[in-house]
Amino acid sequence: MVEITGKDLTILDLVEIAKRKKKIKISDNARRQISSSYKKMLVLADSEEAIYGINTGFGVFSDKRISLKESKKLNRNLIFSHAVGTGDPLPEEIVRAAMVVRINALAKGLSGVKPEIVYTLVEMVNKGVIPIIPSQGSLGSSGDLCLLAQLGLVILRDEKDDDQESGKVIYENELLSGKDAMQRAGIGRIEFSHKDGLALINGATFSAAITALCVSKANKLLNIATEALGLSLEAMCGRSEAFDKEIQAARNIDGQVEIAYDIRNIISGSSFIDSLDQIQDAYSLRCAPQVHGAIKETENFVNRIISREINAATDNPLLSNRDKFISGGNFHGEPVGMAADFLSIAITELGAISERRIFRLMDKNLNNGLPSMLVDSSEGEGVNSGIMILQYTAAALALENQTLAAPDSIKSLPTSANQEDHNANAFNAAINLWKIVINTTKILSIELYSASRGIDLRKKIDPLGRLGIGTKKVYNLIRKEFPFYANDMQWGLEMERFYQLMLDNSDFKNNLFSILI
Protein backbone atom coordinates (compact mmCIF):
# COMPACT_ATOMS: atom_id res chain seq x y z
CA MET A 1 0.00 0.00 0.00
CA VAL A 2 1.27 3.48 -0.91
CA GLU A 3 0.86 6.19 1.73
CA ILE A 4 -0.14 9.58 0.31
CA THR A 5 1.48 12.47 2.16
CA GLY A 6 1.31 15.32 -0.35
CA LYS A 7 5.05 15.59 -0.68
CA ASP A 8 6.85 12.34 -1.55
CA LEU A 9 4.88 10.51 -4.23
CA THR A 10 7.32 8.97 -6.71
CA ILE A 11 6.90 8.10 -10.36
CA LEU A 12 7.47 4.46 -9.40
CA ASP A 13 4.65 4.74 -6.83
CA LEU A 14 2.40 6.15 -9.51
CA VAL A 15 3.17 3.29 -11.89
CA GLU A 16 2.51 0.73 -9.16
CA ILE A 17 -0.89 2.28 -8.43
CA ALA A 18 -1.90 3.01 -12.02
CA LYS A 19 -0.64 -0.13 -13.75
CA ARG A 20 -0.56 -2.73 -11.00
CA LYS A 21 -3.52 -1.35 -9.02
CA LYS A 22 -1.69 -1.02 -5.73
CA LYS A 23 -3.89 0.37 -2.93
CA ILE A 24 -3.39 3.81 -1.36
CA LYS A 25 -4.10 5.52 1.96
CA ILE A 26 -3.86 9.07 3.27
CA SER A 27 -1.22 9.59 5.97
CA ASP A 28 -2.33 10.84 9.38
CA ASN A 29 -0.41 14.08 8.94
CA ALA A 30 -1.99 14.67 5.53
CA ARG A 31 -5.43 14.13 7.07
CA ARG A 32 -4.65 16.83 9.63
CA GLN A 33 -3.43 19.15 6.87
CA ILE A 34 -6.57 18.67 4.80
CA SER A 35 -8.86 19.18 7.79
CA SER A 36 -7.00 22.26 9.02
CA SER A 37 -7.06 23.96 5.61
CA TYR A 38 -10.79 23.28 5.25
CA LYS A 39 -11.55 24.87 8.62
CA LYS A 40 -9.43 27.91 7.77
CA MET A 41 -11.21 28.20 4.44
CA LEU A 42 -14.61 28.27 6.17
CA VAL A 43 -13.49 31.14 8.39
CA LEU A 44 -12.10 33.13 5.49
CA ALA A 45 -15.16 32.45 3.34
CA ASP A 46 -17.33 34.00 6.04
CA SER A 47 -15.42 37.30 5.85
CA GLU A 48 -16.13 40.28 3.58
CA GLU A 49 -12.95 39.74 1.56
CA ALA A 50 -13.37 38.71 -2.07
CA ILE A 51 -11.77 35.29 -2.54
CA TYR A 52 -11.49 33.99 -6.07
CA GLY A 53 -13.65 30.94 -6.79
CA ILE A 54 -15.14 30.85 -3.31
CA ASN A 55 -17.27 33.98 -3.28
CA THR A 56 -16.56 35.11 -6.86
CA GLY A 57 -17.17 33.69 -10.31
CA PHE A 58 -14.49 31.99 -12.39
CA GLY A 59 -12.19 33.13 -15.20
CA VAL A 60 -13.54 36.25 -16.90
CA PHE A 61 -16.30 36.35 -14.24
CA SER A 62 -13.83 36.69 -11.35
CA ASP A 63 -15.10 40.20 -10.59
CA LYS A 64 -18.65 38.91 -9.92
CA ARG A 65 -19.37 38.42 -6.21
CA ILE A 66 -21.27 35.27 -5.21
CA SER A 67 -23.14 34.88 -1.94
CA LEU A 68 -22.44 31.84 0.22
CA LYS A 69 -26.06 30.80 -0.29
CA GLU A 70 -25.26 30.38 -3.98
CA SER A 71 -22.10 28.40 -3.32
CA LYS A 72 -23.57 24.94 -3.93
CA LYS A 73 -25.15 26.07 -7.17
CA LEU A 74 -21.89 27.74 -8.21
CA ASN A 75 -19.97 24.51 -7.66
CA ARG A 76 -22.60 22.39 -9.38
CA ASN A 77 -22.58 24.75 -12.37
CA LEU A 78 -18.78 24.73 -12.46
CA ILE A 79 -18.60 20.95 -12.81
CA PHE A 80 -21.54 20.66 -15.21
CA SER A 81 -20.44 23.50 -17.49
CA HIS A 82 -16.80 22.42 -17.63
CA ALA A 83 -17.35 18.69 -18.35
CA VAL A 84 -17.20 19.15 -22.10
CA GLY A 85 -14.26 16.96 -23.12
CA THR A 86 -14.53 14.92 -26.30
CA GLY A 87 -12.75 12.12 -28.12
CA ASP A 88 -11.96 8.51 -27.32
CA PRO A 89 -11.63 7.54 -23.64
CA LEU A 90 -8.22 7.73 -22.02
CA PRO A 91 -6.67 4.40 -20.94
CA GLU A 92 -7.59 3.34 -17.41
CA GLU A 93 -3.99 3.56 -16.18
CA ILE A 94 -3.87 7.27 -17.11
CA VAL A 95 -7.13 8.00 -15.27
CA ARG A 96 -5.98 6.11 -12.16
CA ALA A 97 -2.67 7.98 -12.20
CA ALA A 98 -4.40 11.35 -12.58
CA MET A 99 -6.75 10.61 -9.68
CA VAL A 100 -3.75 9.84 -7.46
CA VAL A 101 -1.89 13.01 -8.54
CA ARG A 102 -4.98 15.04 -7.66
CA ILE A 103 -5.32 13.29 -4.28
CA ASN A 104 -1.67 14.02 -3.54
CA ALA A 105 -2.04 17.70 -4.47
CA LEU A 106 -5.06 18.12 -2.18
CA ALA A 107 -3.28 16.24 0.61
CA LYS A 108 -0.80 19.12 0.95
CA GLY A 109 -3.49 21.04 2.84
CA LEU A 110 -3.25 24.22 0.79
CA SER A 111 -6.54 23.97 -1.12
CA GLY A 112 -9.31 24.32 1.46
CA VAL A 113 -11.19 21.38 -0.02
CA LYS A 114 -13.79 19.37 1.91
CA PRO A 115 -11.92 16.35 3.39
CA GLU A 116 -14.65 13.94 2.25
CA ILE A 117 -13.81 14.67 -1.38
CA VAL A 118 -10.22 13.50 -0.93
CA TYR A 119 -11.30 10.38 0.95
CA THR A 120 -13.90 9.61 -1.72
CA LEU A 121 -11.23 9.77 -4.42
CA VAL A 122 -9.11 7.34 -2.39
CA GLU A 123 -12.04 4.93 -2.12
CA MET A 124 -12.65 5.16 -5.85
CA VAL A 125 -9.03 4.29 -6.63
CA ASN A 126 -8.96 1.40 -4.16
CA LYS A 127 -12.30 -0.06 -5.25
CA GLY A 128 -11.67 0.37 -8.96
CA VAL A 129 -14.33 2.98 -9.71
CA ILE A 130 -12.53 4.56 -12.65
CA PRO A 131 -14.44 7.25 -14.59
CA ILE A 132 -14.44 7.34 -18.36
CA ILE A 133 -12.50 10.47 -19.30
CA PRO A 134 -12.36 11.78 -22.89
CA SER A 135 -8.98 12.40 -24.47
CA GLN A 136 -9.51 15.82 -26.05
CA GLY A 137 -10.43 19.30 -24.89
CA SER A 138 -7.80 20.36 -22.39
CA LEU A 139 -5.26 23.16 -22.81
CA GLY A 140 -3.41 22.18 -19.65
CA SER A 141 -3.25 25.76 -18.43
CA SER A 142 -6.04 26.57 -15.99
CA GLY A 143 -5.57 22.89 -15.47
CA ASP A 144 -7.04 19.96 -17.32
CA LEU A 145 -10.42 21.53 -16.62
CA CYS A 146 -12.81 19.57 -18.80
CA LEU A 147 -11.18 16.23 -17.99
CA LEU A 148 -11.16 16.76 -14.23
CA ALA A 149 -14.73 18.09 -14.39
CA GLN A 150 -15.70 14.77 -15.99
CA LEU A 151 -14.27 13.11 -12.88
CA GLY A 152 -16.20 15.61 -10.76
CA LEU A 153 -19.51 14.48 -12.30
CA VAL A 154 -19.07 11.05 -10.73
CA ILE A 155 -18.38 12.44 -7.24
CA LEU A 156 -20.88 15.34 -7.22
CA ARG A 157 -24.36 14.87 -5.80
CA ASP A 158 -26.67 17.77 -6.61
CA GLU A 159 -30.33 18.35 -5.75
CA LYS A 160 -31.60 16.73 -8.94
CA ASP A 161 -29.06 13.88 -8.78
CA ASP A 162 -29.98 12.68 -12.27
CA ASP A 163 -28.47 9.32 -13.18
CA GLN A 164 -27.72 10.55 -16.71
CA GLU A 165 -25.78 13.56 -15.43
CA SER A 166 -23.40 11.63 -13.18
CA GLY A 167 -20.79 10.73 -15.78
CA LYS A 168 -19.78 7.27 -16.94
CA VAL A 169 -17.66 4.64 -15.21
CA ILE A 170 -16.20 1.24 -15.97
CA TYR A 171 -16.73 -0.75 -12.80
CA GLU A 172 -16.14 -4.50 -12.58
CA ASN A 173 -15.87 -4.61 -16.39
CA GLU A 174 -19.31 -3.03 -16.83
CA LEU A 175 -20.21 0.37 -18.26
CA LEU A 176 -22.33 2.21 -15.69
CA SER A 177 -23.47 5.70 -14.83
CA GLY A 178 -21.34 7.34 -12.15
CA LYS A 179 -24.25 7.26 -9.72
CA ASP A 180 -24.87 3.55 -10.26
CA ALA A 181 -21.17 2.64 -10.02
CA MET A 182 -20.72 4.56 -6.77
CA GLN A 183 -23.79 2.91 -5.26
CA ARG A 184 -22.59 -0.56 -6.23
CA ALA A 185 -19.15 0.16 -4.78
CA GLY A 186 -20.68 1.51 -1.57
CA ILE A 187 -19.15 4.97 -1.98
CA GLY A 188 -21.19 8.04 -1.08
CA ARG A 189 -21.41 11.02 -3.41
CA ILE A 190 -20.98 14.57 -2.10
CA GLU A 191 -22.54 18.02 -2.40
CA PHE A 192 -19.87 20.51 -3.44
CA SER A 193 -19.61 23.98 -1.92
CA HIS A 194 -17.08 26.75 -1.27
CA LYS A 195 -13.81 25.74 -3.03
CA ASP A 196 -14.58 22.06 -3.65
CA GLY A 197 -15.18 22.20 -7.39
CA LEU A 198 -12.30 24.54 -8.15
CA ALA A 199 -9.85 22.56 -6.00
CA LEU A 200 -10.78 19.38 -7.83
CA ILE A 201 -10.45 20.61 -11.43
CA ASN A 202 -7.76 23.32 -11.24
CA GLY A 203 -4.37 21.88 -12.19
CA ALA A 204 -2.56 20.19 -15.09
CA THR A 205 -3.20 16.85 -13.43
CA PHE A 206 -3.82 14.59 -16.41
CA SER A 207 -0.93 16.21 -18.26
CA ALA A 208 1.42 15.49 -15.35
CA ALA A 209 0.10 11.95 -14.86
CA ILE A 210 0.56 11.03 -18.53
CA THR A 211 4.08 12.49 -18.61
CA ALA A 212 5.00 10.66 -15.40
CA LEU A 213 3.89 7.33 -16.85
CA CYS A 214 5.82 8.10 -20.03
CA VAL A 215 8.99 8.83 -18.03
CA SER A 216 8.76 5.35 -16.57
CA LYS A 217 8.16 3.84 -20.01
CA ALA A 218 11.05 5.86 -21.47
CA ASN A 219 13.43 4.36 -18.93
CA LYS A 220 12.46 0.87 -20.03
CA LEU A 221 12.64 1.79 -23.71
CA LEU A 222 16.23 2.98 -23.29
CA ASN A 223 17.25 -0.40 -21.86
CA ILE A 224 15.42 -2.26 -24.61
CA ALA A 225 16.91 0.01 -27.28
CA THR A 226 20.39 -0.86 -26.03
CA GLU A 227 19.53 -4.55 -26.29
CA ALA A 228 18.13 -4.05 -29.80
CA LEU A 229 21.32 -2.23 -30.76
CA GLY A 230 23.35 -5.14 -29.37
CA LEU A 231 21.46 -7.65 -31.52
CA SER A 232 21.87 -5.44 -34.61
CA LEU A 233 25.61 -5.18 -33.95
CA GLU A 234 25.82 -8.97 -33.71
CA ALA A 235 23.80 -9.55 -36.89
CA MET A 236 25.92 -7.08 -38.89
CA CYS A 237 29.25 -7.95 -37.22
CA GLY A 238 29.68 -4.40 -35.94
CA ARG A 239 32.84 -2.81 -34.55
CA SER A 240 33.41 -2.38 -30.83
CA GLU A 241 35.87 0.54 -30.89
CA ALA A 242 33.07 3.12 -30.91
CA PHE A 243 32.07 2.00 -27.41
CA ASP A 244 35.56 2.26 -25.93
CA LYS A 245 35.69 3.74 -22.45
CA GLU A 246 38.26 6.42 -23.36
CA ILE A 247 36.14 7.79 -26.21
CA GLN A 248 33.19 8.26 -23.85
CA ALA A 249 35.36 9.89 -21.19
CA ALA A 250 36.60 12.39 -23.78
CA ARG A 251 33.00 13.55 -24.36
CA ASN A 252 32.25 13.55 -20.60
CA ILE A 253 28.46 13.21 -20.83
CA ASP A 254 27.14 10.86 -18.17
CA GLY A 255 24.34 9.39 -20.25
CA GLN A 256 26.72 8.54 -23.08
CA VAL A 257 29.21 6.94 -20.68
CA GLU A 258 26.47 4.79 -19.14
CA ILE A 259 25.03 3.66 -22.49
CA ALA A 260 28.46 2.69 -23.85
CA TYR A 261 29.18 0.75 -20.66
CA ASP A 262 25.95 -1.21 -21.12
CA ILE A 263 26.74 -1.93 -24.76
CA ARG A 264 30.25 -3.18 -23.91
CA ASN A 265 28.76 -5.52 -21.33
CA ILE A 266 25.99 -6.87 -23.54
CA ILE A 267 28.31 -7.75 -26.45
CA SER A 268 31.12 -9.05 -24.24
CA GLY A 269 32.30 -12.47 -25.38
CA SER A 270 30.87 -12.21 -28.89
CA SER A 271 32.84 -13.69 -31.79
CA PHE A 272 30.67 -11.89 -34.38
CA ILE A 273 31.69 -8.42 -33.19
CA ASP A 274 34.88 -7.18 -34.93
CA SER A 275 34.95 -10.31 -37.14
CA LEU A 276 34.87 -8.47 -40.49
CA ASP A 277 37.25 -5.93 -42.01
CA GLN A 278 35.22 -2.68 -42.16
CA ILE A 279 37.11 0.18 -40.54
CA GLN A 280 34.08 1.75 -38.91
CA ASP A 281 30.30 1.39 -38.90
CA ALA A 282 27.54 3.74 -39.96
CA TYR A 283 26.29 6.36 -37.53
CA SER A 284 23.20 4.39 -36.46
CA LEU A 285 25.59 1.81 -34.93
CA ARG A 286 28.73 3.80 -34.19
CA CYS A 287 27.04 6.89 -32.71
CA ALA A 288 24.47 5.03 -30.62
CA PRO A 289 26.12 6.01 -27.29
CA GLN A 290 25.94 9.67 -28.28
CA VAL A 291 22.29 9.46 -29.39
CA HIS A 292 21.00 7.08 -26.72
CA GLY A 293 23.06 8.95 -24.14
CA ALA A 294 21.47 12.29 -25.04
CA ILE A 295 18.06 10.64 -24.70
CA LYS A 296 19.03 9.33 -21.26
CA GLU A 297 20.09 12.82 -20.17
CA THR A 298 16.74 14.23 -21.35
CA GLU A 299 14.80 11.50 -19.56
CA ASN A 300 16.69 12.27 -16.33
CA PHE A 301 15.87 15.98 -16.66
CA VAL A 302 12.17 15.34 -17.32
CA ASN A 303 12.08 12.88 -14.44
CA ARG A 304 13.20 15.64 -12.06
CA ILE A 305 10.60 18.13 -13.33
CA ILE A 306 7.69 15.70 -13.25
CA SER A 307 8.67 14.21 -9.88
CA ARG A 308 8.24 17.72 -8.44
CA GLU A 309 5.02 18.37 -10.36
CA ILE A 310 3.22 15.29 -9.02
CA ASN A 311 3.97 16.57 -5.51
CA ALA A 312 2.80 20.14 -6.16
CA ALA A 313 -0.28 22.10 -5.12
CA THR A 314 -1.63 23.38 -8.43
CA ASP A 315 -5.06 24.90 -7.82
CA ASN A 316 -5.85 28.57 -7.29
CA PRO A 317 -6.11 30.34 -4.92
CA LEU A 318 -3.91 28.61 -2.34
CA LEU A 319 -3.93 28.97 1.43
CA SER A 320 -0.77 30.62 2.73
CA ASN A 321 0.96 30.19 6.09
CA ARG A 322 -0.56 33.57 6.96
CA ASP A 323 -4.03 31.97 6.82
CA LYS A 324 -4.86 33.93 3.71
CA PHE A 325 -5.86 32.81 0.24
CA ILE A 326 -3.41 34.03 -2.41
CA SER A 327 -4.26 34.06 -6.10
CA GLY A 328 -1.53 32.85 -8.41
CA GLY A 329 -0.91 30.59 -11.38
CA ASN A 330 0.35 27.20 -10.22
CA PHE A 331 -2.27 25.58 -12.43
CA HIS A 332 -0.38 26.71 -15.55
CA GLY A 333 1.01 23.62 -17.28
CA GLU A 334 4.08 25.17 -18.90
CA PRO A 335 6.62 23.09 -16.90
CA VAL A 336 4.74 19.92 -17.79
CA GLY A 337 4.19 20.87 -21.43
CA MET A 338 7.83 21.73 -22.03
CA ALA A 339 9.00 18.58 -20.24
CA ALA A 340 6.64 16.45 -22.34
CA ASP A 341 7.89 18.17 -25.52
CA PHE A 342 11.54 17.54 -24.58
CA LEU A 343 10.86 13.86 -23.92
CA SER A 344 8.82 13.58 -27.14
CA ILE A 345 11.81 14.78 -29.14
CA ALA A 346 14.11 12.38 -27.32
CA ILE A 347 11.92 9.30 -27.75
CA THR A 348 11.28 10.21 -31.38
CA GLU A 349 15.06 10.12 -31.91
CA LEU A 350 15.24 6.73 -30.18
CA GLY A 351 12.74 5.41 -32.74
CA ALA A 352 14.46 7.22 -35.61
CA ILE A 353 17.90 5.70 -35.04
CA SER A 354 16.33 2.27 -34.49
CA GLU A 355 14.53 2.54 -37.85
CA ARG A 356 17.86 3.31 -39.53
CA ARG A 357 19.35 0.12 -38.08
CA ILE A 358 16.33 -1.85 -39.31
CA PHE A 359 16.87 -0.38 -42.79
CA ARG A 360 20.54 -1.47 -42.78
CA LEU A 361 19.60 -4.98 -41.73
CA MET A 362 17.35 -5.26 -44.79
CA ASP A 363 19.81 -3.92 -47.40
CA LYS A 364 22.35 -6.51 -48.60
CA ASN A 365 24.65 -3.65 -49.65
CA LEU A 366 24.78 -2.36 -46.07
CA ASN A 367 24.36 -5.36 -43.75
CA ASN A 368 27.79 -6.98 -44.24
CA GLY A 369 26.81 -10.13 -46.09
CA LEU A 370 23.28 -10.95 -44.98
CA PRO A 371 20.61 -11.75 -47.60
CA SER A 372 18.44 -8.97 -48.98
CA MET A 373 15.37 -8.32 -46.82
CA LEU A 374 16.61 -11.12 -44.55
CA VAL A 375 15.12 -13.73 -46.85
CA ASP A 376 16.31 -17.22 -45.99
CA SER A 377 18.27 -17.81 -49.21
CA SER A 378 17.73 -21.55 -49.03
CA GLU A 379 14.00 -20.92 -49.52
CA GLY A 380 14.42 -18.65 -52.52
CA GLU A 381 14.44 -14.90 -53.02
CA GLY A 382 11.61 -13.51 -55.11
CA VAL A 383 9.24 -16.27 -54.08
CA ASN A 384 9.77 -14.96 -50.56
CA SER A 385 9.88 -11.25 -49.68
CA GLY A 386 11.36 -11.81 -46.24
CA ILE A 387 10.55 -9.14 -43.68
CA MET A 388 10.87 -6.29 -46.15
CA ILE A 389 7.61 -4.61 -45.16
CA LEU A 390 8.43 -4.51 -41.46
CA GLN A 391 10.86 -1.73 -42.31
CA TYR A 392 8.04 0.12 -44.06
CA THR A 393 6.00 -0.06 -40.87
CA ALA A 394 8.96 1.17 -38.80
CA ALA A 395 9.49 4.05 -41.26
CA ALA A 396 5.80 5.01 -41.11
CA LEU A 397 5.85 5.03 -37.31
CA ALA A 398 9.09 7.06 -37.27
CA LEU A 399 7.54 9.61 -39.64
CA GLU A 400 4.40 9.86 -37.51
CA ASN A 401 6.59 10.46 -34.48
CA GLN A 402 8.29 13.34 -36.27
CA THR A 403 4.92 15.03 -36.73
CA LEU A 404 3.81 14.32 -33.15
CA ALA A 405 7.10 15.62 -31.72
CA ALA A 406 6.62 19.15 -33.09
CA PRO A 407 6.56 21.16 -29.84
CA ASP A 408 3.10 21.82 -28.43
CA SER A 409 4.19 24.10 -25.59
CA ILE A 410 5.18 26.88 -28.02
CA LYS A 411 1.63 27.00 -29.39
CA SER A 412 -0.99 29.10 -27.62
CA LEU A 413 -4.45 30.50 -28.17
CA PRO A 414 -6.18 32.84 -25.67
CA THR A 415 -9.34 31.81 -23.82
CA SER A 416 -11.87 33.29 -21.39
CA ALA A 417 -12.15 36.66 -23.15
CA ASN A 418 -8.35 37.10 -22.96
CA GLN A 419 -8.24 36.77 -19.18
CA GLU A 420 -6.34 33.57 -19.97
CA ASP A 421 -4.23 35.01 -22.75
CA HIS A 422 -1.32 32.55 -22.70
CA ASN A 423 -2.07 28.83 -22.52
CA ALA A 424 0.44 26.03 -22.10
CA ASN A 425 -1.07 23.39 -24.39
CA ALA A 426 0.39 20.91 -21.91
CA PHE A 427 -2.20 18.19 -22.35
CA ASN A 428 -1.64 17.97 -26.11
CA ALA A 429 2.10 17.74 -25.43
CA ALA A 430 1.54 14.92 -22.95
CA ILE A 431 -0.91 12.90 -25.04
CA ASN A 432 1.34 13.20 -28.12
CA LEU A 433 4.23 11.95 -25.99
CA TRP A 434 2.07 8.97 -24.99
CA LYS A 435 1.49 8.15 -28.69
CA ILE A 436 5.20 8.54 -29.46
CA VAL A 437 6.11 6.11 -26.69
CA ILE A 438 3.70 3.52 -28.13
CA ASN A 439 5.03 4.03 -31.68
CA THR A 440 8.64 3.77 -30.54
CA THR A 441 7.92 0.61 -28.58
CA LYS A 442 6.68 -0.89 -31.85
CA ILE A 443 9.73 0.30 -33.79
CA LEU A 444 12.06 -1.26 -31.22
CA SER A 445 10.01 -4.46 -31.38
CA ILE A 446 10.64 -4.57 -35.12
CA GLU A 447 14.37 -4.06 -34.59
CA LEU A 448 14.52 -6.82 -31.97
CA TYR A 449 12.65 -9.16 -34.29
CA SER A 450 14.64 -8.22 -37.41
CA ALA A 451 18.02 -8.39 -35.70
CA SER A 452 17.17 -11.80 -34.21
CA ARG A 453 16.40 -13.05 -37.72
CA GLY A 454 19.63 -11.48 -38.92
CA ILE A 455 21.51 -13.43 -36.25
CA ASP A 456 19.89 -16.69 -37.41
CA LEU A 457 21.07 -15.99 -40.95
CA ARG A 458 24.52 -14.92 -39.73
CA LYS A 459 24.83 -18.27 -37.93
CA LYS A 460 24.26 -20.01 -41.27
CA ILE A 461 27.25 -18.09 -42.60
CA ASP A 462 29.35 -18.70 -39.48
CA PRO A 463 27.98 -21.79 -37.65
CA LEU A 464 30.69 -21.62 -34.99
CA GLY A 465 30.00 -17.99 -34.13
CA ARG A 466 28.87 -17.07 -30.63
CA LEU A 467 26.86 -14.21 -29.22
CA GLY A 468 27.83 -11.91 -26.38
CA ILE A 469 26.83 -12.62 -22.80
CA GLY A 470 23.90 -10.20 -22.82
CA THR A 471 22.85 -10.51 -26.45
CA LYS A 472 22.58 -14.28 -26.05
CA LYS A 473 20.08 -13.78 -23.22
CA VAL A 474 18.03 -11.35 -25.29
CA TYR A 475 18.13 -13.58 -28.36
CA ASN A 476 17.06 -16.66 -26.36
CA LEU A 477 14.14 -14.77 -24.78
CA ILE A 478 12.91 -13.73 -28.20
CA ARG A 479 13.35 -17.15 -29.78
CA LYS A 480 11.50 -18.81 -26.90
CA GLU A 481 8.41 -16.75 -27.78
CA PHE A 482 9.02 -16.31 -31.52
CA PRO A 483 10.71 -19.24 -33.32
CA PHE A 484 12.54 -18.68 -36.59
CA TYR A 485 10.48 -19.18 -39.78
CA ALA A 486 12.33 -19.69 -43.04
CA ASN A 487 9.44 -19.05 -45.42
CA ASP A 488 7.20 -16.01 -45.56
CA MET A 489 4.30 -16.00 -43.14
CA GLN A 490 1.77 -13.51 -41.82
CA TRP A 491 4.37 -11.32 -40.19
CA GLY A 492 1.58 -8.93 -39.18
CA LEU A 493 0.05 -11.48 -36.79
CA GLU A 494 3.48 -12.27 -35.42
CA MET A 495 4.32 -8.62 -34.82
CA GLU A 496 0.96 -7.75 -33.25
CA ARG A 497 1.69 -10.35 -30.59
CA PHE A 498 5.20 -8.96 -30.18
CA TYR A 499 3.82 -5.42 -29.79
CA GLN A 500 1.34 -6.49 -27.12
CA LEU A 501 4.00 -8.29 -25.11
CA MET A 502 6.13 -5.15 -25.26
CA LEU A 503 3.32 -2.71 -24.48
CA ASP A 504 1.77 -4.71 -21.63
CA ASN A 505 3.35 -5.51 -18.30
CA SER A 506 4.31 -9.00 -19.51
CA ASP A 507 6.99 -11.33 -18.18
CA PHE A 508 8.61 -11.15 -21.63
CA LYS A 509 8.98 -7.36 -21.45
CA ASN A 510 10.06 -7.39 -17.81
CA ASN A 511 12.70 -10.05 -18.49
CA LEU A 512 14.05 -8.02 -21.40
CA PHE A 513 14.16 -4.90 -19.23
CA SER A 514 15.94 -6.68 -16.39
CA ILE A 515 18.89 -7.92 -18.45
CA LEU A 516 20.68 -4.56 -18.21
CA ILE A 517 19.69 -3.74 -14.62
Instruction: Please state the φ and ψ torsions of residue 500, each to the nearest 5 degrees.
Output: -65, -40
User: Does position 159 have pLDDT exceeding 90, yes or no?
Assistant: no
User: Does position 378 have pLDDT exceeding 80, yes or no?
Assistant: no
Tell me the pLDDT band of 79, cut-offs 50, 70 and 90.
Answer: very high
What whole-number distance in Å separates Cα of residue 183 and Cα of residue 166?
A: 12
Q: Note whether 78 and 175 are same-domain residues.
A: yes
What are the distances in angstroms from CA 460 to CA 271, 450, 454?
14, 16, 10
Q: Note whether 192 and 221 are same-domain residues.
A: no
Question: Which of 147, 169, 202 is the last residue before a domain boundary?
Answer: 202
Q: Note whether 40 and 67 are same-domain residues.
A: yes
The verdict on residue 165 lying in a domain is yes
Q: Note whether 131 and 234 are same-domain residues.
A: no
**Full-model pTM:** 0.96
What whole-number distance in Å separates Cα of residue 391 and Cα of residue 367?
A: 14
User: Does position 114 have pLDDT exceeding 70, yes or no?
Assistant: yes
What whole-number distance in Å separates Cα of residue 163 and Cα of residue 24?
A: 28
Q: Note whether 194 and 219 are same-domain residues.
A: no
Lowest mean pLDDT among 69-83, 256-270, 384-398: 69-83
User: Does position 237 have pLDDT exceeding 90, yes or no?
Assistant: yes
What whole-number distance in Å separates Cα of residue 443 and Cα of residue 351?
A: 6
What whole-number distance in Å separates Cα of residue 294 and Cα of residue 436?
A: 17
Sequence-distant (≥ 6) Cβ neighbours of residue 361 within 8 angstroms = 232, 235, 236, 367, 370, 374, 447, 450, 451, 454
The verdict on residue 336 lying in a domain is no
Q: Note whether 397 and 484 are same-domain residues.
A: yes
Q: Which domain holds residue 100?
A: 2-202
Q: Note whether 159 and 273 are same-domain residues.
A: no
What whole-number distance in Å separates Cα of residue 437 and Cα of residue 222?
A: 11
The verdict on residue 328 lying in a domain is no
What whole-number distance in Å separates Cα of residue 376 and Cα of residue 384?
A: 8
Q: Kindly report the average pLDDT of the chain as a whole number.
A: 94
CATH code of 510's domain: 1.20.200.10
Mean pLDDT over 65-69 rounds to: 75
**Domains of the chain: total:** 2
Residues catalogued as catalytic: 52, 82, 202, 283, 286, 331, 420
What whole-number distance in Å separates Cα of residue 454 and Cα of residue 457?
A: 5
Q: Note whether 189 and 242 are same-domain residues.
A: no
CATH code of 107's domain: 1.10.275.10
Sequence-distant (≥ 6) Cβ neighbours of residue 104 within 8 angstroms = 4, 5, 6, 9, 310, 311
Mean pLDDT over 344-372 rounds to: 97
Helix (H) or strand (E) holding 25: strand 24-26
Question: Which of 202, 233, 265 is the last residue before a domain boundary?
Answer: 202
Q: Name the β-bridge partners of 156.
A: 190
Q: Note whether 194 and 242 are same-domain residues.
A: no
What whole-number distance in Å separates Cα of residue 372 and Cα of residue 380?
A: 11
Tell me the pLDDT band of 164, cut-offs 50, 70 and 90.
Answer: confident
Tell me if residue 319 falls in helix, strand or coil. strand
Sequence-distant (≥ 6) Cβ neighbours of residue 132 within 8 angstroms = 89, 95, 150, 167, 168, 169, 170, 175
